[in-house]
Amino acid sequence: MLNGTTAEIKERSALRINPAKTCQPIGAMYASLGIHGCMPHSHGSQGCCAYHRSTLTRHFKDPVIATTSSFTEGSSVFGGSANLNQALENIFTIYKPEIVAVHTTCLSEVIGDDIPTIVKKAAEEGKVPAGCRVIHANTPSFVGSHITGFANMTKAMVNYLSEKTGETKDQINVIPGFVDPSDMREMKRLAGELNVNIVLFPDTSDVLDTPQTGIYEMYPKGGATVEQIASAGDSIATLALGTFASHPAAIALEDKCSVPTALLELPIGVTATDEYIDALRNYAAVEVPASIVQERGRLLDVISDMGQYLFGKRVAVFGDPDHVIALTRFLVELDMKPVYVITGSSGNHFETRVGEILKEQVPDAKIKQNADLFELHQWIKQQGVDLLIGNTHGKYIARAEGNIPFVRFGFPILDRMSHRVFPTVGYQGALRLVDKIIDAFFDKKDREAPEEQVELIQ
Residues with catalytic roles: 106, 110
Cα–Cα dist 81/72, whole Å: 12
Evaluate whether 372 touches 18 at the Cβ level (below 8 Å). yes
- Rounded Cα gap, residues 232 and 174, in angstroms: 9
Query: In angstroms, rounded to a whole number, what is the distance separating the alpha carbons of residues 365 and 355?
Result: 8
Q: Residues of 197-214 as b/e, b for ≥16 C-beta within 10 angstroms?
A: ebbbbbbbbbbbbbeeee
Distance CA 75, CA 48 (A): 15
Angstrom CA distances, 118 to 113, 121, 266, stand at: 8, 5, 37
Q: How would you classify the pairing of strands 237-241 and 198-200?
A: unpaired
C-alpha count within 13 angstroms, C-beta hemisphere, residue 366: 18
- Taking the C-alpha atoms of residue 320 and residue 244, their distance in angstroms, rounded to an integer, is 9
Neighbours of 131 (CB within 10 A): 7
Tell me which long-range contacts 397-406 makes (C-beta under 8 A, separation of at least 24): 397/2, 397/373, 399/1, 399/2, 400/1, 400/2, 400/3, 400/5, 401/377, 403/444, 403/447, 404/380, 405/437, 405/440, 405/441, 405/443, 405/444, 406/440
- H/E stretch holding 358 reads helix 348-358
Length of the chain: 458
